[in-house]
Structure 1
Amino acid sequence: MSATPPASADPRKDSLIEFPSFFPIKVMGLKADGLVHAITEIAARFDPQFDARSIELRESSGGKYLGVTITVTATSRAQLDDLYRALTAHPLVKVVL
């Protein structure tokens, strides 16, 4: 009998994402001073090589909201989960996709 663990024991097999990879995340929040800075700080906390120059901004038609797309280097599912939790916990952030 083989001692090889089942494929589901390998967390990389449970994800459709191949790690490491560049992973875009869209954050939508209230258009307010500090939103982009806060998102940048959070991204850098989870991806030390995060390049703020890669940020894309898109204002809502009414001007109340701002879409901020960041691209991080995803190294694990746990990293992405923690990053999503940190972003959604910010008071100016409304949605993270």
Structure 2
Amino acid sequence: MMNSKFDEYLEFPCAFTFKVMGVATETLEQEVLEVVQRLAPGNYSPSSRLSTKGNYRSVSLSIQVTSKEHIETLYQELGAIEDVRHVL
């Protein structure tokens, strides 16, 4: 696991915004939602934006998290998606 300090700065449960950036494939947003639904089921409405040249896409969504470990697991699982390059 990561050695983050989320538990020092956040009061759980809370909404936490993730921004996932990856190659602009047709399935990126769906793959992100599949991971999120598996780890934090809910009704999500992600916002998605293409880069200027259209090579990359960013997907942002606010997720209800329950602990520091929950956030860290989401970062790791979202980062493991093949076309994802960064998770912020």
The answer, yes or no, to whether TM exceeds 0.5 is yes
Query: Within the alignment, does 1:59 sit opposite 2:53 as a pair?
Result: no
Identify the structure with the greater helix proportion: 1
- Structure-2 separation of matches of 1:95 and 1:13: 19
Aligned pair in 2 of structure 1 residues 13, 58: CA closer, same or farther (>3 Å)? closer
For the aligned residue pairs, the C-alpha RMSD in angstroms reads 1.7
- Structure-2 separation of matches of 1:14 and 1:36: 28
1:8 maps to which residue? none
Between the two proteins, what is the percent identity of the paired residues? Answer: 33
The unaligned stretches of length 5 or more in structure 2 are none
Which has the higher Rg, Structure 1 or Structure 2?
A: 1
The unaligned stretches of length 5 or more in structure 1 are 1-11
1:74-89 matches, within 5 Å, as 74-89=65-80
| Larger RCO (CA under 8 A, 6+ residues apart) | 2
Aligned pair in 2 of structure 1 residues 81, 13: CA closer, same or farther (>3 Å)? closer
TM-score if structure 1 supplies the norm length? 0.80
* SS at structure 2 position matched to 1:25: strand
TM-score if structure 2 supplies the norm length? 0.88
Query: Within the alignment, does 1:72 sit opposite 2:63 as a pair?
Result: yes
**Post-superposition, which runs of at least 4 consecutive aligned residues in structure 1 deviate over 6 A?**
none
- The residue type paired with residue 92 of structure 1 is D
- The residue type paired with residue 16 of structure 1 is Y
Aligned pair in 2 of structure 1 residues 20, 69: CA closer, same or farther (>3 Å)? same
2:36 maps to which residue? 43
Structure 1 residue 34 displacement after superposition: 1.1
Aligned length: 84
